[in-house]
A and B are shown apart, each in its own frame.
Chain A
Amino acid sequence: MTTAASRTPRRTPLTWVRRGGLSTLVFLLPMLIVFGVFSWTPIVESVVMSFQHTNLVTTPEFVGWANFAAVLADPTFWIAVRNTAYFAVLALIFGYPLPLIAAVLLSETRRMRGVYSVLAYLPVIILPVVAVLLWKVFYDASPNGVFNTILGWFGIPPQPWIQDATTAMPSLVLQATWAGAGATVIIYLAALRSVPPELYDAAEVDGASIWQKVWHVTLPQLRGILFITLILQITATAQVFLQPFLFTGGGPNNATTTILLLIYQYAFQNSLGGAYGKATALSLMLAVFLAVLSIVYFRITRRWSTE
């Protein structure tokens, strides 16, 4: 009885140090500092600030849901929502099937696969900013612009590209698709290589045609990764910033103002001083929307995956 009690030593600071408690804490210190200051605290602050009026001069005061109400009452907010949805839909139509088709075709070329992968990945390697700036030159709206010269070869009249409210958003999506497709192609290529060859052998024994093999073997095998790239693309396009910021600054006439651009404008391009409350309120609304979307999405796709 007494031995059992004495075997479990009392936890004192000294035994804690001797057992390595202190050195564990030393190892955790970089993470605790960096995450504490630059991740955990800002996340909490973001929630607090969305209910406050902050101007960095006077003490922040709580204003309840006023920031959220102000965002919802801002006509630009609804334009930004529509634009972002438009961007996301266009990006899905242009950008979602393309890498898959390219990857499937690419994986079937044998000798050229290496060269083709390098070519597909080149747009990903260059600085994203440089890619946008280069395309901005391509999109020159004069008849002597790069793209307009090419269109001229086919007798198509010059297009205004990013200078017109109707063509601006498709132009942005086109560039974003160009810049991003290569990375997805490489991911699909890796996934295609992990499809067990026996499945194709078996399908052939059953007399499957090439299309049947694609439809009944390749696509089902890629289903998991396809579900994930879809939701990743949607959440990424919902946060698009680089293209509207560098190409158009949200113009012409707010035709390319996206939600992220609006958050940025609220906080950092406001002539009346940063509307930090509105900016954090809007970013929280976006985060909650994306979280709900992801949860619903994974609920649904899980049901499909386990069918």
Chain B
Amino acid sequence: MEHRVTTTIPADLPLQEPVQAERIRRRARSVRTRDAEDRGILGIADRRRTGVRTGSTVINVLLGAALVVTGLLPLLWLAKSAITPTQDTLMMPLRLFPNGVAWSNLERAWNDVHIQNFFWNTIVMAAGSWAVQMVVATTAGYALAVLRPAYGRVLTGLVLATLFVPAVVLLVPLYLTVLHPPLIGHSLINTFWAVWLPAGASAFNVLLVMRFFESLPREVFEAARTDGAGTFRLFWSVVLPMSKPILGVVSIFAINAAWADFLWPNLVLTDIAIQPLSVRLPQIQSSTDLGVYLASLTIATVIPVAIFLVFQRTFLSGAGLGGAVKG
């Protein structure tokens, strides 16, 4: 379950500012020279001193080595072991293919474990959670920040209040709700809705989108209204197109949270047919040959790592932004 303990969002913090600041900074980067912009703790004078220069080179090399050992090597080991015979991994885990390569591990992860099914379930789970979160956050943000009904403040307060409740408080009653949902009459357990719908109740998303909508120029809304745009047109053709940056941020948070979640899906998706990777992989560890098991873990890792490497800029600025927003 996603940690909702982001204890404070200072009420007066204009949340859209990091987005704009980043855009301005990026523009500035292309104009100004790197040196002028990159000034950190070490200044030009510091970097000219030979002691500092060798010192910083040594630290850079050590830092790089540490990052390779901690960040890269575990994943390379996983990839290597995915195509190593089980006995070799058990007896000499750090030797490089002492007895040849076992491509069959990957084959069996695909054909016997059916890892692709669980991959697909993960995608469906994340996509649905994303869609529900987007619908709830944008419609609620629009109603509360643009349409502003008289009772809006009360609702905003109620949403804000849930931000201070740790997710664990919801665990049991939410489980019972999903077991016996109101009105529908049958349990949501073992349906994706059990994950999608609770994911939508993210106060963080609603407040983030609300803040952004509040910062949009109201004159544009008035102009659109004068031109005859109704409430729905205003939402779909004016507000949403103006809000792409914040929708991107919410999307990253939403997909990331859904992808990483374990506790809740593990509880409500007990049917193997719809389990995502995070739920299925722990269950196969005891019953699967180690080589095949590691091949399964590798397949589950390769695709997100590839996506990350392609879109690293977006990911890293998004992650930094997360900090800026939370701060």
Contacts and interface: CB of A to CB of B under 8 A. Distances in A.
Interface of A: 20-21, 23-25, 27-31, 34-35, 37-43, 45-46, 49, 56, 102, 104-110, 112, 114-130, 133-134, 136-138, 140, 144-146, 149-150, 178, 182-183, 186-195, 197, 200-201, 204, 210, 213-214, 217-218, 224-225, 228-229, 231-232, 235-236, 239, 241-242, 245-246, 260, 263-264, 267-268, 274, 276, 279-280, 283-284, 286-287, 290-291, 294, 298
A34 B63 contact: no
Given A46-B172, A119-B72, A187 B315 contact: no
B215 interface: no
Nearest to A122: B71
B198 A38 contact: yes
Nearest to B285: A133
Contacts of B63: 102, 105-106, 109, 116
A231 B46 CA distance: 35
B201 interface: yes
Contacts of A232: 5-7, 326
Contact of A134 (B78, B200, B259, B277): B78
B164 interface: yes
B3 A239 contact: yes
Contact of B147 (A27, A116, A268): A27
B301 A46 contact: no
A21 B67 contact: no
A239 B166 contact: yes
Interface of B: 3, 5-8, 21, 25, 34, 38-43, 45-46, 52, 56, 59-60, 63-64, 67-68, 70-72, 74-75, 77-78, 90-94, 132, 135-136, 139-140, 142-144, 147, 149, 155, 158-159, 162, 164-177, 181-182, 197-198, 200-201, 203, 206, 230-232, 235, 259-260, 262-263, 267, 277-278, 281-282, 285, 290, 294, 297, 300-301, 304-305, 308-309, 312, 315-317, 319-324, 326-327
A117 B318 CA distance: 13
A235 B4 CA distance: 10
B209 to A, nearest CB: 11
Contacts of A145: 93
B155 A28 contact: yes
Given A30-B135, A121-B316, A276 B176 contact: yes
Contact of A239 (B43, B168, B177, B230): B168
Contact of B136 (A21, A31, A128, A245): A31
Given A122-B71, A126-B75, A145-B93, A186 B300 contact: no
B165 to A, nearest CB: 6
Contacts of A119: 64, 67-68, 71-72
Contact of A123 (B68, B71, B315): B71
Interface of chain A: mostly helix, strand, loop or mixed: helix
Interface of chain B: mostly helix, strand, loop or mixed: helix
B201 A38 contact: yes
Contact of A231 (B7, B21, B93, B164): B7
A30 B166 contact: no
B38 to A, nearest CB: 6
19 contacts: A37-B177, A38-B198, A39-B162, A49-B172, A116-B67, A118-B312, A130-B281, A133-B281, A149-B94, A186-B323, A189-B320, A200-B41, A200-B43, A232-B5, A239-B3, A245-B263, A280-B169, A283-B166, A286-B168
Contacts, number: 310
Contacts of A236: 3, 5
B231 A20 contact: yes
Contacts of B46: 210
Contacts of B56: 108-109
A246 B284 CA distance: 12
A192 B40 CA distance: 8
Contacts of B317: 190
B118 to A, nearest CB: 11
B185 to A, nearest CB: 14
A7 B176 CA distance: 52
A186 B67 CA distance: 14
Contacts of B93: 140, 144-146, 149
Given A43-B170, A187-B326, A264-B263, 20 more contacts: A20-B231, A28-B144, A30-B140, A31-B139, A35-B136, A49-B172, A106-B63, A108-B42, A121-B308, A127-B260, A133-B285, A140-B93, A144-B92, A187-B324, A188-B323, A197-B40, A225-B327, A239-B168, A241-B263, A283-B172
Contacts of A112: 60, 64
Nearest to B42: A108
